[in-house]
A and B are shown apart, each in its own frame.
Chain A
Amino acid sequence: MNDIILTASNLKKTFPIHGGIFYRKIARVNALNGVSFSLKRGRTLGVVGESGCGKSTLGKTLLRLYEPDSGGAVFEGRDVFSLKPDALLKLRQDMQMIFQDPYASLNPRMTVGSIIGEPLNIHRIGTREDRKKKVEAILAIVGMRKEALSRYPHEFSGGQRQRIGIARALALRPKLIIADEPVSALDVSIQSQIINLMIELQREFGITYIFIAHNLAVVEYVSDEVAVMYLGHIVEIAEKRALFNRPSHPYTLSLLSAIPVPEPDLKNSRERIILKGDVPSPIHPPSGCPFHPRCFKATEECRHAMPVLDDVAGDGALHKVACFNR
């Protein structure tokens, strides 16, 4: 049961910036700087980091919405980035995406029925009658009523729209769903409903998730493993318990210290790490360790050499950190 469904190796992606009257490339935004991980079937990998750290780019590159500059990804033995169009179409049945903004991810001129039915049409699944039944069944799975089918997205609330988006992703019965901040645009009360729905779906259909978020509490709730990203690098990746109990990278430490604590008494006993400065521009990333300008443990070594992800667990469990001074 613990087989690997997806492996990403040394993914790199830069976006060119053009300028001047001749529209030449004047700079590059380094969105992904060599990201590697592997993901086991039926598990959830949480990806956290500040805005601009490349977590959305990672998700979109894995789905081939962007072509990477270099590096590879293997999904169930298939090399994602070298697939021919028809093979890619097949892959799309297995890999789907849930979007952040439920107001932008549904076409306002299509009914809910045709939105959810579209993936079935594209992949020519079953007859017209089958598809209709399937759409109704999927709608029921995500907890919405049949009457919704002939209505338009603007008639629904954010939470309901997100359910429609999940239904669309679910229609092809994918094995992997990449959820790009699926709850950060929703009210807190609705967030838990959507997260619980996603967890239920995982139990029922054995879906694997890559769950991109910036809310650590949400990530702690849904994930089995967590990857912390900073400026296009994974700086720490570990089993959830290990990461939250024994964070090893200074960046992870500071992130965790920022989680609000419900008990005021406890609050004083905990050290709050406040980072100096801002995230450096991904156009001119710092030399050496990308985190060293803001790191409270930085040494001379960090300024020149780039630390690689190193195993720190020692007992075979997953816990890798990219830091010289852990």
Chain B
Amino acid sequence: MHQFVKLLPFILLFFVYGVILTGPLLAPHDPFVSSLEEALQAPGAGHFLGTDANGRDILSLILYSARISLAVSFCVVLCCLFLGTTLGFIAGFFGGPLDRLFLFTADVFQAFPGILLAITVAAFIPQSLINMILLLSFVGWVSYARLIRAGVLSLKSRDYILAATVLGLPKSRILWRHVFPNLAGPVIVQASFGMAGVILAESALSFLGLGLPAGTPSLGKLMDQGVNLLLVAPYVSIFPGAVIMFFVLSFNFVGDSLREKFDV
């Protein structure tokens, strides 16, 4: 039973992501076809979660846009991991001037609130899916790099790393065999919290009209559409908002349980 409770978020996540990834196949309507006769219908038999101001089916819109939001955050976390791991490793492992340069850069980045930096940069670049991914990676890599750097620094002076050196293991293999495996835990945890953060950031930017280009549905944009209709048709904003909340919660739960698992 205890085991089951622990696995629950994973099972739930697995199920819902299955639904989302196959979204376009399951969507009951074409979300890109608007029909004004059907505008702003309350949730009911024809449209399970109602329709928006253009008469588009909200459930279908959510299924399409959740997929995109998920893809964006996955790509961003991957980019951050790549950038952060590489730079954090170099800074932590080689130290000296490289490390000081890294720290200075990281301080500059972290001096701005992430979302503010993202908004500022977003105002200057054309809107596209790729630009969105690059933008959020640009804002997000620092915390990964700092985590990796700190991990490498503390591992570098561990006795088992010294022992491996005394045994004659070359530095590159010490990294692979002794440093990486002991960093994997915290990094995976950070990545799962990062997924949640990116979904929020992407939604926020889209909500502000700085996100994905027109024609690419996103959860934030869906919410944005509903703002003016909150009193008339609250479901237009509420359902996409609930999906965002679900994403963030589930990634945070997974992050928490992974953290417990990796704490030796």
Binding site for B on A (CB under 8 A): 23, 60, 63, 65, 88-89, 92-93, 95-97, 99-101, 104-110, 118-119, 122-123, 154, 165, 168, 172
Contacts and interface: CB of A to CB of B under 8 A. Distances in A.
B264 A97 contact: no
Nearest to A114: B177
A108 B166 CA distance: 18
Interface string B152-176: 0000001110111111110000000
A122 B168 contact: yes
> What are the 10 closest A-B residue pairs judged by CB atoms, nearest first?
A105-B159, A92-B168, A104-B159, A99-B159, A107-B160, A109-B181, A119-B167, A89-B168, A97-B166, A122-B168
25 contacts: A60-B162, A65-B165, A65-B166, A88-B168, A92-B168, A93-B168, A95-B166, A99-B163, A100-B159, A105-B159, A105-B163, A107-B164, A107-B177, A107-B178, A107-B182, A109-B181, A110-B177, A118-B167, A119-B168, A122-B168, A154-B264, A165-B163, A168-B163, A168-B167, A172-B167
A65 B100 contact: no
B62 to A, nearest CB: 41
A172 B169 CA distance: 13
Nearest to A152: B264
A121 to B, nearest CB: 9
B160 A92 contact: no
Nearest to A88: B168
Contacts of A95: 166
Nearest to B163: A105
Interface string B1-38: 00000000000000000000000000000000000000
A172 B177 CA distance: 19
A118 B164 contact: yes
A63 B159 CA distance: 14
Interface string B233-264: 00000000000000000000000000000001
Contacts of A65: 162, 165-166
A92 B159 contact: no
A106 B166 contact: no
Contacts of B264: 108, 154
A165 to B, nearest CB: 8
Interface of B: 100, 158-160, 162-169, 177-178, 181-182, 264
A97 B163 contact: yes
Nearest to B180: A109
Contacts of B162: 60, 65, 97, 99, 105
Contacts of A119: 167-168
Nearest to B161: A107
Contacts of B181: 107, 109
A122 B167 contact: yes
Contact of A109 (B100, B165, B166, B182): B182
Contacts of B158: 104-105
Contacts of B166: 63, 65, 92, 95-97
Contacts of B165: 65
Nearest to B159: A105
B169 A105 contact: no
Contact of B167 (A92, A99, A110): A92
Nearest to B157: A104
Nearest to B173: A122
B163 A23 contact: no
B156 to A, nearest CB: 12
B189 to A, nearest CB: 16
Contact of A104 (B100, B160, B167): B160
A168 B162 CA distance: 13
Contacts of A104: 158-160
Nearest to B162: A65
Contacts of A172: 167
Contacts of A88: 168
Given A89-B168, A122-B168, A154-B264, A108 B182 contact: yes
B180 to A, nearest CB: 10
Nearest to B178: A107
A106 B160 contact: yes
A88 B162 CA distance: 15
A268 B168 CA distance: 52
A110 B100 CA distance: 33
Contacts of B100: 23
Contacts of A101: 159
A110 B182 CA distance: 10
B97 to A, nearest CB: 8
A110 B264 CA distance: 13
A110 B178 CA distance: 9
Nearest to A171: B167
A89 B159 CA distance: 19
A123 B162 CA distance: 17
A63 B162 CA distance: 10
Nearest to A99: B159
Given A99-B163, A101-B159, 18 more contacts: A23-B100, A65-B162, A65-B166, A89-B168, A92-B166, A96-B166, A104-B158, A105-B162, A105-B163, A106-B160, A108-B264, A109-B181, A109-B182, A118-B177, A119-B168, A122-B169, A123-B168, A165-B163
A103 B3 CA distance: 29
Between A118, A123, A172, the greatest number of chain B beta carbons within 10 A of the residue's beta carbon is seen for A118
Nearest to A91: B168
A61 to B, nearest CB: 12
A122 B167 CA distance: 8
